[in-house]
Structure 1
Amino acid sequence: MMGRLSPCLALVLLASSALLPEASAATSAAAAGTGKGQPPPSESKQPDVSSLCDCSTFTSRHLHDTSAPKRSPKWFVASESPVCATSHMDEVIDGITFASPCLALCQQQHIRHRGSCEDIDNGAFKLSEDFSFASLADIRKSKAKDRQLTPAVVHRFRSDGYVFVGRITGGTEPQDLADEGDDEKNEEPEPRKYRSVRIVPGGDTYARLLASTDEEVRQRLMDKGLHDEDQGIREGNASLPTNWAVRPKSAPDSDFSQGASNMTTDAREPKCVVGPESRTIGSVQTDYPWSTWGYLAISTPNGRRRCTGLVAGSFITGMTAASCFTNRRRGGGNVEVDWRARFCPGQSGRFRRPYGCVVVVFITINARWLSNRRRRSSNDWAVMTFQNSIGFRTGYVPIGSACTRGRRSEINVWMLSYPQLPFGRDRLRVYYENRDDFDFRCRRSARHNFDTNTFGSSGSGMVEYRNGYWWLRAVHNKEVVRRGRCRFNEAAKMTGRNSDEVKFIISEQQPE
């Protein structure tokens, strides 16, 4: 396990040389770090943080003090506005944006400047305009004890190498996720570093302390025997079931004329991929791998919404879309992050749950999903961590990594989902579909032909049977309507960086 960070009352670095806003050049030693959760060493003198902040409540002892010299330690803590901080003194490129100075200082971080960190391509973390930090003053005014910021809340994941950045909520200028799609011909350039972020119910958010490069993540996966599909089978997935059913169980009324409805319309243009409905109504699923899909019920202060997910990567984790937890509510308005979620695998029907339901304890996502204003479908995935190991009963689908380079290659893929039907016909039943035209090229996102354009299908996994095992190939996340002319569906592929990052996130939660 990783080294533990010091208590919040420890002395931290805040020398004046650390407070320069200009970014300095990264050194190879600092980029590598000293291990998971452990910042690189520094020889600078450390002032007494307890004279600046009360680390039991994370409040400043000099709040609104206008007499402090500019850029002095007291000047930085005179305001509770966001700051950019790092775990080391000699670089700022992979800084983390914290909701307040004392949140950073009480977690051993060195403040670089007021405002957000900006260099997200080098691993920096910030919030886009779609999100904002809840005011610490408003949090303190809350009468609910479980909503207060305590050392237990702030340091919840410190042994895992994560720091608490603040409680996030919706921003002032929300952008509908369905407004834009990824351009297949001009994919987003790969950042040089990236980091993961954990969000718990209620919006408390934790960023991984050290950003990572592709090479660092791949090396860690190789050390754990998880760098490719074959190795994954040899080193840890040999117990996965292989006696799978040929197809999911259909419901007695699987004909769409009986209790269901046609959920799509014919495409308006030849290039549009959404065609006539081809899903089949499913019964309760207890055969592997169909038992791993489930109904994801998400509750927010403004109502309920649904998504689909599946048990994947381990017995205690699952996959779905990040937008299920961090998208704006139907009809417009701000992004909703204050959520509670339950996952019910195998369900088909309102009360037909063969494995019951399990609580989602937290989700882990790519930090760029929160940092970029244009949230691309390639980053729209989330790893769910469950309250218990439901996968021991349902089985789990391993994370795939294979793909083909160059010319288009197509594979046979299955997908189950829980679409929301018109009132009176919606009985929370599962629907399934099988297609043999899924694009298998090595891209982080893909347009696909599955029928998904109803609420509830987001987050569904697409799996392929290959070499004796089922593999997660992609996570459906949205239907796009571009300028009112053309509809198409998109998914985040589990190949390349996405696959490596997801497997690394899951491996962090497994015992050594």
Structure 2
Amino acid sequence: MGRLSSCFALVLLAASALLPEASAATSAAATGTGKGQPPPSESKQPDVSTLCDCSTFTSRHLHDISAAERSPKWFVASESPVCATSHTDAVIDGITFASPCLALCQQQHIRHRGSCEDIDNGAFKLSEDFTFVSLADIRRSKAKDRQLTPAVVHRFRSDGYVFVGRITGGTVPQDLADEDDEKNEEKDEESQPRKYRDVMIVPGGDTYARLLASTDEEVRQRLMDKGMHDEDQDIREGNASLPTDWTMRPRPARDSDFSRGAINMTTDAPEEKCVVGGESRTIGSKQTDYPWRTSGFLSISTSDGDFRCSGIVAGSPITGMTAAHCFTNRKPGGGNVFVENFRARFCPGQSGSERPFGCVSVRRITVPGEWLSRRNRPREYDWGVMLFAVPIGAQTGYVPIGSACKRRLFTPKITVWMLSYPGFDDRSDRRRVFFEKRDDFNFRCRQKVNHKFDTNGGASGAGMTEFRNGYWWLRAVHNSAPRGRCRSNTAAKMTGRNSNQAREIIAEQSS
């Protein structure tokens, strides 16, 4: 999954010295504190093997009420979440793990019991809407492929990820609307001195966090090392956001109209979610022309039912973009799903029962850590990178991730297309593709945008593309409609941090 930076490689080299069965001493528990209190004096380099069984990730002192408070035995006496880090200094860069032994057996240093707190400085925590599945429940699982084993825990270790547990929906989250969206729309994206990390979720809910949080500068440098430049830096090379050594690159395309088999909608969509100023979408047949064929229908099956979203082949032949909430958030009435036990298929170019390129399964979804960490679900982080089982983009082509935007006193507007698969209660859509073209898309440098494309449930995850300088670019991912008065919808823009983070994830997963 790509080359690691030198500092990243050193951390992984140090981590590789501890195998699941190893009994080498570590100061992991010694640095554990009770919310900032100094480490217990009695514990100097405690042996992890005396505290945990790293073949099953269980505590050897579970429920030991005699352990002194904040001692190593005290930390592992309860299988409750802990905040841990690979650092031994005071830098707040922690990751929330489902249990102490899960962290210790991955050579992490426990900071305190409970979830990590300082998300602005790169910590990964879970909001109250998500909880870890009990590790005891996982160990009792009858399905061998779902049990907690070293193979599961260390699956992505060489790629810089640690296993934090298996997450599931906790309390039902509110679909919070951003009341100040329109007031904040005119503010440019500001550079903020915070770190960020991404979180990978595989079918079954197994969740992995990137070991080290990154600054904007570190991510930009890694992208430069991979030959991936910002769109504005080298637009004359065509698709400058992609590595120069990739064999599959989007071909220049004309700014064509979406017309093959299209029919106009004659009535407003039933049970509209947010149709702005009357229906303006068009229904199309199966799509075999680029770039329309990169958009597709995303079906997600869980133990709680089947759900739908939209998506787009983007960034590489084997990756796609969609909304994070399609996989990680369940709201009243359905439409979104638990991460646990999900199975997903993506069918590019589909309309109705016609699937010109067949379907491909989704192997995993990677989302920004902030999406799982913040209670209010900020929509600028409501996006995710899908890794497909096979490079479907070899047949369809793919849309590169854009990065261009304008910082001006007035609001610049550009022409953008959106293809989506909205679902209606009367099932009149029959999984047909809908399209809309608007020339009032906000091109300011913000990570979130209000837009006036019409949407219904199922349109979440739709790619919003623009034709510029001979190429089609992904500008945003639609993700939400506000509650109450329907004046606009929202999308996560591919600018700044979003663009850099998405392209880095894609570069690693495509290598």
Same-fold call, TM cutoff 0.5: yes
Q: Superposed, which structure 2 residues align to 1:214-363 within 5 Å?
A: 214-229=216-231, 230=235, 231-232=240-241, 235=244, 239-244=249-254, 246-251=256-261, 254-257=263-266, 262-263=269-270, 274-331=276-333, 336-338=338-340, 339-350=342-353, 352-363=354-365
For 1:192, the equivalent position in structure 2 comes to 194
Query: In 2 relative to 1, CA 120–23 (structure 1 residues): closer, same or farther, beyond 3 Å?
Result: farther
For 2:500, the equivalent position in structure 1 comes to 500
Output the CA distance in 2 between the equivalents of 1:15 and 1:113: 11
Amino acid at match of 1:289: P
Q: Superposed, which structure 2 residues align to 1:333-412 within 5 Å?
A: 336-338=338-340, 339-350=342-353, 352-406=354-408, 407-412=410-415
For 1:79-98, what per-residue CA distance to the aligned partner results, in whole angstroms no more than 9, with x for missing partners?
10000101021125110010
Output the CA distance in 1 between the equivalents of 2:243 and 2:198: 27
Q: Is the 8 A contact 1:23 1:93 kept in 2?
A: no
Q: Is the 8 A contact 2:242 2:315 kept in 1?
A: no
SS at match of 2:482: strand
Q: Is the 8 A contact 1:327 1:336 kept in 2?
A: yes
**Does residue 63 in structure 1 map to residue 62 in structure 2?**
yes
**Does residue 183 in structure 1 map to residue 181 in structure 2?**
yes
For 1:192-241, what per-residue CA distance to the aligned partner results, in whole angstroms no more than 9, with x for missing partners?
11100001111111000000011111111111221311233683578312
Q: C-alpha displacement at 1:181, in angstroms? A: 5.5
Q: C-alpha displacement at 1:459, in angstroms? A: 0.3
Query: In 2 relative to 1, CA 250–277 (structure 1 residues): closer, same or farther, beyond 3 Å?
Result: farther
Q: C-alpha displacement at 1:48, in angstroms? A: 2.1
Amino acid at match of 2:71: S
Q: C-alpha displacement at 1:180, in angstroms? A: 3.9
Q: C-alpha displacement at 1:470, in angstroms? A: 0.6
Q: Is the 8 A contact 1:477 1:490 kept in 2?
A: yes
Q: C-alpha displacement at 1:242, in angstroms? A: 1.9
SS at match of 2:166: strand
Output the CA distance in 2 between the equivalents of 1:135 and 1:334: 23
Amino acid at match of 1:433: E
Q: Is the 8 A contact 2:474 2:494 kept in 1?
A: yes
> Match for 1:20 among 29, 33, 42?
33
Q: C-alpha displacement at 1:380, in angstroms? A: 0.4
Amino acid at match of 1:411: I
Q: Superposed, which structure 2 residues align to 1:463-474 within 5 Å?
A: 463-474=465-476
Output the CA distance in 1 between the equivalents of 2:335 and 2:243: 48
Q: Is the 8 A contact 1:474 1:493 kept in 2?
A: yes
For 1:443, the equivalent position in structure 2 comes to 446
Amino acid at match of 2:469: N
For 1:419, the equivalent position in structure 2 comes to 422
Q: Is the 8 A contact 1:308 1:457 kept in 2?
A: yes
For 1:168, the equivalent position in structure 2 comes to 167
Output the CA distance in 2 between the equivalents of 1:386 and 1:332: 24
Amino acid at match of 2:33: L
> Match for 2:208 among 200, 206, 209?
206
For 1:485, the equivalent position in structure 2 comes to 485
Q: C-alpha displacement at 1:265, in angstroms? A: 6.7
Q: Using the aligned pairs only, state the percent identity.
A: 66
Amino acid at match of 2:432: R
Q: Is the 8 A contact 1:83 1:101 kept in 2?
A: yes
Query: In 2 relative to 1, CA 48–302 (structure 1 residues): closer, same or farther, beyond 3 Å?
Result: same
Runs of 5+ consecutive residues of structure 1 not aligned to the other structure: 25-43, 268-272
Q: C-alpha displacement at 1:246, in angstroms? A: 1.2
Aligned residues: CA RMSD = 2.5
Q: C-alpha displacement at 1:487, in angstroms? A: 4.2
Query: In 2 relative to 1, CA 357–48 (structure 1 residues): closer, same or farther, beyond 3 Å?
Result: same
For 2:118, the equivalent position in structure 1 comes to 119
Output the CA distance in 2 between the equivalents of 1:505 and 1:310: 16
Q: Is the 8 A contact 1:249 1:285 kept in 2?
A: no
SS at match of 1:142: coil
Output the CA distance in 2 between the equivalents of 1:65 and 1:401: 54
Query: In 2 relative to 1, CA 15–432 (structure 1 residues): closer, same or farther, beyond 3 Å?
Result: closer
Q: Is the 8 A contact 1:164 1:205 kept in 2?
A: yes
SS at match of 2:510: coil
For 1:39, the equivalent position in structure 2 comes to none
Q: Choose 234-243 or 405-414, whichever is displaced more.
A: 234-243
**Matched positions, count:** 479
In the superposition, the TM-score normalised over structure 2's length comes to: 0.88
Q: Superposed, which structure 2 residues align to 1:128-143 within 5 Å?
A: 128-143=127-142
For 1:38, the equivalent position in structure 2 comes to none
Q: Is the 8 A contact 1:23 1:91 kept in 2?
A: no
Q: Is the 8 A contact 1:94 1:211 kept in 2?
A: yes
Q: Is the 8 A contact 1:182 1:445 kept in 2?
A: no
Q: Is the 8 A contact 2:421 2:459 kept in 1?
A: yes
Q: Choose 501-510 or 45-54, whichever is displaced more.
A: 45-54
Query: In 2 relative to 1, CA 360–171 (structure 1 residues): closer, same or farther, beyond 3 Å?
Result: same
For 2:21, the equivalent position in structure 1 comes to 9
Query: In 2 relative to 1, CA 315–182 (structure 1 residues): closer, same or farther, beyond 3 Å?
Result: farther
